[in-house]
């Protein structure tokens, strides 16, 4: 069977950094094994799902380069869910419950007060037809639970966490359908995983208990469960779970000038034993991707580390990859000249302004005669080969200046800044006429 993964976001909001990491790892695992990566829009919550978020999810994945091989929407699968529901109900694996939320909350509090785990007591299984009719006469509608087989031990070999074991007697029968007929996450996800041929599921460790009950759902449907990998959750730089991580989405990173390659390079490696490296092409990341390298400790996400990594990746980007985002007049030599000084591609426009001008510089009085001489020398040197070294060598011989006293006044006059790209690369871009004009006091 072809290895198949899926990313299954709910379109009730924008993707955040944790979602993005999950999508990336599912995509990488599929690509590593020549498999398929599917996008499933989990939009069974009709009240909260919005089409604008569906489109945003697609755009975010496209920006990251995570192209799915197919896309499905749970809202298209309602008839299939109904058929499975009826089948499981007839088999006695789903049963109606009539407790109100307040009654269930009271039961939980009583159990906790006794020092017992708050497990549902299955009282609904003892109701006879007369009791159910009485509840319906009161206007109560049932919610539905999946009946766990307490004689069937639950276990799986997790790709990250190793051997996992759950005692079903220590778990509540999960609610799979609400009073209004709408679905909760658990059962539709299993049905779709079976129908879509999902072989591997990567998700956060907060889903471990969900996996335990879903494994019995797979069995109830006569299906083999996929392999599971439960990753440690992301934490912020303060070393604990951060609410801010839930608000960091693609828009935030794009506005900050972060390249998609930087996000991919960081999220592919944090939480693993592999070093985070500036990689503009994901191919080596995919080749080295291995769940055996993932640790159990929370994965630390640091925006400062991302910014540093972003600058290193910008320094690797070829002109063709960024040309559409550069000033129209900026060509390949100009990009190559300024690239080593950029933290973001957008900063190239500032350096192009240095080339195209005008520039303003504060020139010290003691440097004015030197610059006047430099203007004359600039008019007679050969600009075809290496004008910067031709200019500085001639000035060194003529004025006796060297080191900082030679180079800094020239840089200030020519660029208006005391630092920046290599002047040997920058001066040919500025050109003879602009250079002479800037050097002239």
Question: How far out from the chain centre does Cα 143 lie?
Answer: 35
396 assigned to a ligand binding site: no
**In sequence order, what DSSP letters do the residues of 199-247 get, joined into one string?**
-EEEEEGGGHHHHHHHHHHHHHTT-PPPEEEEEPPEE-TTSS--GGGGG
Question: Taking Cα atoms as reference points, which of 10, 42, 41, 5 lies closest to residue 24?
Answer: 5
Residue 176 DSSP class: E
Whether 267 and 20 have beta carbons less than 8 Å apart is answered as yes
Residue 42 DSSP class: -
**In sequence order, what DSSP letters do the residues of 117-155 get, joined into one string?**
------GGGG--HHHHHHHHHTT---EEEE---TTS-EE
- Report angle CA 118, 154, 98 to the nearest 5 degrees: 40
Whether 263 and 234 have beta carbons less than 8 Å apart is answered as no
Pairing state between β 154-158 and 162-166: antiparallel
Whether 381 and 387 have beta carbons less than 8 Å apart is answered as yes
CA distance 31 to 190: 23
Question: Taking Cα atoms as reference points, which of 68, 63, 420 lies closest to residue 258?
Answer: 63
Intra-chain end-to-end CA distance of the chain, in Å: 76
Q: Which residues of 91-121 are buried (b: 16+ CB within 10 A; e: fewer)?
A: eebbbbbbbeeeebeebbeeeeeeeeeeebe
Residue 6 DSSP class: E
**In sequence order, what DSSP letters do the residues of 321-377 get, joined into one string?**
HHGGGS-TT--HHHHHHHGGG-SSGGGHHHHHHHHHS-------GGGHHHHHHHHHH
Question: Please, which residues have CB within 8 angstroms of residue 55's CB and are 6 or more apart in sequence?
Answer: none
Host H or E run for residue 305? helix 303-314
Identify how many contiguous H helices and E strands the chain contains and give both numbers.
19, 12
| Bind-site residues for ATP | 243
Annotated binding site: 243
């Amino acid at each position: 069977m072809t290895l198949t993964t899926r990313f299954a976001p709910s379109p009730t909001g924008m993707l955040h950094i944790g979602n993005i990491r999950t999508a990336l790892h599912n995509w990488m695992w599929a690509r590593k094994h020549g498999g398929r990566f599917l996008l499933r829009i989990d939009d069974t919550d009709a009240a909260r799902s919005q089409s604008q978020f569906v489109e945003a999810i697609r755009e975010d994945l496209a920006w990251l380069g995570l192209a799915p091989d197919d896309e499905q929407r749970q809202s298209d699968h309602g008839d299939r869910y109904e058929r499975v529901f009826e089948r499981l109900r007839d088999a006695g694996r789903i049963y109606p419950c009539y407790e109100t939320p307040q009654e269930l909350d009271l039961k939980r509090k009583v159990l906790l007060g006794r020092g017992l785990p708050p497990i549902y007591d299955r009282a609904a299984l003892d109701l006879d037809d007369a009791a159910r009719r009485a509840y319906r006469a009161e206007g109560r509608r049932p919610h539905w639970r999946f009946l766990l087989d307490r004689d069937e031990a639950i276990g799986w070999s997790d790709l990250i966490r190793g051997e996992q074991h759950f005692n079903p007697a220590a778990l509540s029968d999960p609610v799979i359908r609400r009073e209004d007929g709408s679905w909760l996450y658990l059962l539709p996800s299993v049905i779709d995983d079976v129908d879509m041929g999902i072989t591997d599921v990567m998700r956060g460790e907060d889903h471990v208990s969900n996996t335990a009950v879903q494994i019995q759902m797979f069995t109830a449907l006569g299906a083999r469960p996929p392999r599971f990998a439960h990753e440690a959750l992301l934490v912020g730089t303060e070393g604990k779970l951060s609410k801010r991580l839930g608000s960091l989405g693609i828009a935030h990173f794009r506005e900050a000038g972060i390249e998609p390659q930087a996000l991919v390079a960081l999220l592919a490696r944090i939480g693993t034993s592999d070093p985070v490296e500036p990689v503009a092409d994901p191919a080596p990341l995919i080749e080295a991707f291995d769940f055996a390298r993932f640790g159990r400790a929370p994965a630390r996400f640091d925006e400062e580390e991302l910014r540093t990594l972003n600058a290193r990746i910008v320094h690797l980007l070829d002109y063709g990859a960024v040309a559409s985002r550069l000033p129209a007049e900026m060509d390949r030599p100009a990009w190559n000249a300024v690239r080593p000084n950029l933290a973001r591609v957008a900063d190239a426009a500032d350096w192009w302004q240095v080339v195209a001008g005008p520039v303003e510089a504060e020139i010290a009085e003691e440097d004015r005669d030197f610059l006047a001489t430099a203007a004359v020398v600039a008019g007679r040197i050969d600009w075809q080969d290496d004008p910067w070294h031709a200019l500085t060598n001639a000035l060194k011989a003529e004025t006796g200046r060297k080191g900082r006293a030679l180079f800094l006044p020239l840089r200030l006059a020519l660029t208006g800044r005391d630092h920046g790209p290599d002047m040997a690369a920058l001066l040919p871009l500025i050109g003879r006429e602009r250079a002479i004009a800037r050097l002239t006091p």
